[in-house]
Structures are given as C-alpha cells and as structure tokens.
Structure 1
Amino acid sequence: MPADPMSTALLPAGLHDVLPNEASHEADTVERLLAEFAGLGYQRVKPPLVEFEDSLLSGSGAAMAQQTFRLMDPLSQRMMAVRADITPQIARIATTRLKNEPRPVRLCYAGQVLRVKGSQLRQERQFTQVGVELIGPLQPEADAEVILLAVQALEAVGVPHLSVDLCVPTMVSRICRGLGLGEEETRHLRAALDRKDAAGVAAVGGPAAPLLQTLMAASGPAGRAMQALGALALPEAAETDRRRLTETLRLLRAAKPDLTVTIDLVEHRGFEYQTGLSFTLFSRDASGELGQGGRYRAGARPDAEEDGEPSTGFTLYMDTLLRVVPATQAARRVFVPHGTDWAVAGKLRAEGWVTVAGLSPAADPVAEARRLQCGHRLADGSVQPVD
C-alpha cells in the first residue's frame, strides 16, 4: 500500500517546515539585520553546517558538546559534528583564515543550527542564528559597540520595548578565588546562586557569603546594582570586572540614555564560555530571550582562560525574534494572463510588481487572479484591481 501522505509529513520533535509567509518574513528580517551590521563595518562570512568534531568542539565550542549531533564522514572515516552554535566557527575563521587581517576583525553571519534538544522556553531544535563577532579589541568601547549594535538592529526591524540585562559570569569565581575558596566550594556556591538561594549561599559561602549575598540582592535596575557594587570592597581579581562593567554602562548611557538596562551580578547559566562582560536581550512583548552575547577568547583552549584572542559579539535567535517583528507589507501581486509577452511582465517587475503568470487560458481572469492570491490583474495593457 502507498504510504499515508500525512504520516510521511510527520517530522521529529523540535523540527518543522517553514511555509511561504513565515519564510518570507524570516528572510526579509535577516537581510535587514545584516544590513544594519554592514553599516558598522561587519563583513559577512558563511561557515559550513558540518565540521570535523575535534575542530568544532574545541575551545569555546566545547560548551556545546552535549547539544551537538555527530556522524561519521564516509570519505575520511573521521567523526563530524553538526553545528549547534555558529560563534565558535566565526572564532575559528578569525584566528585561522583571517589571522593576518588587521585587528579588530568585524564579522557577521546568518545560518541554521541544530541541537540535540530544545529548552523549556525554546522547543525548536533547528533555528536560525544571526549575529556579529568583534575579534581583537579588549577595550570597553568594544563591549559597548556590540551591545549598541544589537539594540540598533532590533529597533530597525521593529522590535518594541527592548531591554538589556548585563552580567559578568566571571565575577563570582574571581571573588571566590580572591578569598581563598577552592573549586568544590565555588561549585556549590554557584549552584546556590543559580537558585537565588540566600540561605544556601550563607551555608556554603564561608568568607565570600556576605559579599555574594549583597551582590545577589542588588541585582536589578542598573543604577541600584552599580551603587551597591561600587560600595563593596572586592578582591583585586574581581576589580577588572567591576571597572569594565562601570565603563561599559557609562558608554551605553551616553549613547542611549533611554535604554532600559538591568544588571544581574551573579548570573552564570547560559554563559559557560564567556570570560567577561556578557548580556541578554529582551523585549517585554516576547517570551524568552531575543539573543545573548558577551566576551570570550577566540581560539582558546578549554583549560586556558587567558589563551586566545579577546573577542566579543552576540547571537540573535530568529525563532523568538520573529514573534515580535512586525511583518513587512505584502508584495503587490499581479495576475498576468496566458500569452502575455515576457517583456511586458518584465516591465511590471521592474516597477515593483510580483508577476504571477497564467499557464493556460482562463475563462474568468478575475476569478483566476483571486485563486492565485493576486490583488491585481493585467487587462487591456494596464494593471487593474481585482476587487
């Protein structure tokens, strides 16, 4: 028996077909975002969907190992991996193929990623990432540039009610190290902070507990958080993080004084390979984050915090973003009757029309135009509304 058409259309969990209207909306939004990136000098690159496993999962890519699909390459007999995140690939390109390019290197990208499983907020396992990477500079001006670019690009495509949440994933570990806590104690502290468990922090934090409880309580609006942070005596190891956060926030305020900025002084989850100031982008109208970014070391080995090139960037998640980006005006479609000269239809396309040609004579051209979802039709040498 022939297969049931509906059963052959069944897709694995977290994967789905993108139909014409949605696909058009996504393509248009991606191109508008990339145009904003290009305006600030970011050049587009296009890494492959699949790479050798040992390359894709090295350095910062190791953080995505549990989310990565693997397969055997029948040609080389080596294990390959399907990318779950594009950032490590851009870092590889910058530190290998473009290693002799003058710094800073500004790159942007758009492409699909595939993950082993979705998250609670993002059920999709395949989705489009769009983003930028700024390779080479260490100055706070670089952190401010990528944050402001992300905000500018999102505003340009119509995302309402934007906010930026800043964090410094390295601050807690540097405070713990500066106060003499070991790796095991720091790990337990991290778990308590992730739960926002003040009692747990007090129980396992030792000399770091009062400091970390203050940081946890201060998280929120940027002004309040920075006032609390500025009043604390931090170990020298954490001073660099405080100075960078302070200066970056000053630059953001100078450029966009009305931007809503919050700060989480103990956040770590989702920033496993970041090595400094990081951020998450939100809209009041969206469920979940629109994107994330932050500072990392391009080309670093997993066990070498200071290895590699200083870098920062961000990734936008199109599956979430498209839910709050207004759809662009639908293209004007005109029905061109069967037998119309090709050059005539070409002239209409040059004027901005989408031409939909009749492939056989139609007894009722108006009904045929409606059937083909055209609001206009070509009749007697001119374009006329269908209704």
Structure 2
Amino acid sequence: MNNRWLLPEYIEDVLPEAAWQVEDVRAKLLSLFKSYGYELVIPPHVEYIESLTGIEGDDLNLKTFKLVDQITGRQLGLRADMTPQVARIDAHLLNRMDVTRLCYAGHVVHTLPAGHFSTREPLQVGAEIYGSKNLTADIEIIELMSSALKVAGISEMNVDIGHVGIFRTICELAKASPQIVDQLFTALQTKDLPSIAELTINWEESLKVAVLALPSLFGEAESVLATARLKLPTVPAIQDALETIERVCVHLATIGVRCSVELGELRTGFYHNGLVFTAFAKGWSNPVARGGRYDNIGQQFGRARAATGFSIDLRDILRGLSTPSGKMSILAPDSQEPELRELIAKLRESGEIVRVDISGGSSDELAWDRKIVKSVNGWEVVSK
C-alpha cells in the first residue's frame, strides 16, 4: 500500500481558502505592527543549536528538532521559537543603544504539539521591544497584542496577568537550588499542590505558605491583589510586582480589555522573568496569545537587553474562525485579442479576480459570478 501522501502526526497542509485567509491576516498584522513603528525581521529556519536553546531551562531544548550540519559537522536546530533569534538580531546585528521595536511572522517547528488540536508547525507572529524597562513598554505590547487579536478576528478576549518575579523572589528568599526551582516551576504550571508541598517541606513556614498560595491567587484583580498583599512576603520586589500588575489592569480596563490576575501563571516560558500575560478567547481550548518581560535575554549573545514582547500562533487562531468562502471571480474567454487582454489587465489591477477559461466553457472548479463576453460594443462584463 502506497502511503506517500500521508503527513506526520500534527502536521497538515493548509488548503486554498484557508491559506488565503492566513496570508491576508498575516499582511494585516504586519501592517498594524508597522503603524506602531515596529521593524520587520526574517530570521532563518535553521541555526546552530546553541543559539536556539541556550536560554535557562530545557523547555526550548525539548521542543527543538536537531540535525547535523553536513558542512561543519556541528549540531543544528529547526527553530521552535523566534524570540531567541530576534534577541540575537537585536543584541549582535543591530547593536543599537536606544529602544528598538522588532516584529516577525514565520513558521516554527515543535517536536511535540503545544496543546490539544495544536499543530507542530505553528505560524508564529509577534512583536518585541528591546532596551526599555519602563512599564509603558509592557503596556504598549499588551495593547498591541489586543489590537492584533482583533485584526485576526477575535473581538472579545480575557487577559490573565501574572508576574514570574514573584515566584523567583520567593525561591531566592528560600535559597532554593536550581533543581528545586525547575521542579516547582513545573508543579505550579499544573497546580500540583502535593508536589509543591513536598518540594518545600524544609522551607521557612512563611515562604512555604506563600508558594502554596500562588495557584489559588487568581481571579478578579482587586480581590486577588488584596489577598496577595496579605499572604506574600512584604519585600520590595514582590510589592513592586503587585503594583505593576495593578497598574496594567487599570490601563486594560480603560481600553476595554477584560483582565484577570493569576499569580501562579508561569506557562509563558522559562526565559520570562517579570510581568507575563496570556490571552484567552471563547471557542479556543488553547491560549490565543502569550508574552511577557524577559530582561537580559540577549546576554547569551554578549549583550543583555531589557525586553518585552508577545506572540500568537496565527494558524491556531484562524482554525477557530470560519473560513470565508472564496471571493467571486470573473470568467474570461480563452482569447488573445488585444482589447480583451487589456480589459483583463485593468480588472486585475482594480482588485478583481479574473480567470481565463482554458477548459472550453465547462469550468466549474472555482466560484465565479460574472463573465466577459463580446457584444456589439466590444468586450464587457456581464452577470452569470
């Protein structure tokens, strides 16, 4: 049996109408980013593995397909996330001193799907700001993310706000080993309270209570932040983080974006170290966007830079929307008459879809509602 037409698990083709929808929305998103002053970069699909997975934690390492470079013998990787690549471009190639806004749109490849019904070949679209620790940068990124989702077709969403710095500060106060930090990180993502309790069994009681409280600190901003201020250590780093979350939530309310606070939110990735956010929408089982602050991400490339950004999987978003039917077109006869060719060219320049009927008048393969016919007045477009 010939199975050459089969594709690997969680890998799929994008067929004509959906493909045009993807490209149309991608163009609109890049136009939106450009209007905010973001510059487009196009990193390569393949790099040396150290550049793609050199960030703290093994999350990206596990997601990355690896292969051997036939020229150098060194190990290469298929990119699983474009953020490290964009950080490399900012730190090493652009090497600017001031604020830099960069955006991108391209496919990444994962060894395993990120969630239910996810593809292993997401179309990652995102924007990032380098060189600013100011909260206004984070607010701009979240506002841009909200606008991008609306452009993609999601009119209503809820943004969960968290802060990885709270978790990391508690671990620092407890003098936890890197191994314990990584295990706690994983346990918090699944709200595994027994594992959290076991990992912190020898901690000071107040710190144990604090980290066990994180999974339950989610919901409406005002009440969650009030509870957090009572249960979490009153150290400057944590109080500043709570103040940051509060200011972001207040701003989102002014622009009509619903938000919640989730202090156990660590799903965005190992390299985030500050404010993080995840957008959800009705009808999607997975988050529709995620991002946050990842200061010093450029350090592995020799130049640490403050950074914040977000990304979306455009294919996953559009999978949850209805695919528009193909735009109606005009059917033209198969003729090389100069007047007809001139009319066809003008129609195409005006945005019309004109297909030449090469099937001898029996073409029904695509939708068309008008056709070009020859009358006493010359060539003209008439209804089907």
Identity %: 27
Q: 1:316 and 2:312 equivalent?
A: yes
- Per the TM alignment, residue 111 of structure 1 is displaced from its structure 2 partner at its CA by 0.3
Aligned residue for 1:384, secondary structure, equals: strand
CA distance in 2, matches of 1:200, 1:112: 36
Indicate if the aligned counterparts of 2:57 and 2:182 stay in contact, CA closer than 8 A.
Answer: no
Q: Distance in 1 between matches of 2:190 and 2:318?
A: 30
> Are residues 1:21 and 2:17 paired?
yes
Structure 1 spans left out of the alignment, 5+ residues: none
Give structure 2 stretches of 5+ with no counterpart. Answer: none
Distance 2:76 2:347 in 1: 48
More displaced stretch, 235-244 vs 28-37: 235-244
Change beyond 3 A, Cα 1:73–1:109: same
What is the aligned residue count?
371
Could you tell me whether the CA contact under 8 Å between 1:60 and 1:301 is conserved in 2? no
TM-score by length of 1: 0.87
What are the within-5 Å matches in structure 2 for residues 1-387 of structure 1? 4=2, 7-59=3-55, 63-100=59-96, 102-181=97-176, 183=178, 186=181, 189-190=184-185, 192-198=187-193, 201-202=196-197, 204=200, 206=203, 207=205, 208-232=207-231, 233-254=233-254, 256=255, 258-296=256-294, 297-301=296-300, 308-325=304-321, 327=323, 330-340=326-336, 341-359=340-358, 362=360, 365=361, 367-368=362-363, 370-380=364-374, 381-386=379-384
Distance 2:108 2:37 in 1: 25
1:163-218 CA distance string (max 9 Å, x none): 11111123123123225555565556545534434555555354213223444333
Q: Distance in 2 between matches of 1:317 and 1:61?
A: 22
Query: What is the distance in 1 between the residues matched to 2:366 and 2:264?
Result: 56
Alpha carbons of structure 1 residues 69 and 184: separation in structure 2 relative to 1, 3 Å:
closer
Mapped partners of 1:372, 1:330: distance in 2: 8
Cα offsets for 1:257-276 (capped at 9, x unmatched): x3110111122234211011
Contact 1:84 1:113 in 2 (8 A): yes
Deviations 1:56-96 (A, max 9, x none): 22236964111111222222232211101111100000001
- 1:49 aligned partner, one-letter code: H
Is 2:11–2:121's contact at 8 Å kept on the other side of the alignment? yes
C-alpha spacing 1:184/1:14, structure 2 compared with 1 (3 Å): closer
- State the alpha-carbon separation in 1 of the partners of residues 358 and 124 from structure 2: 38
Q: TM-score, normalised by structure 2?
A: 0.88
Query: RMSD across aligned C-alpha pairs, in angstroms?
Result: 2.6
Quick one: which amino acid aligns to residue 98 of structure 1? L
Letter in 2 for 1:244: T
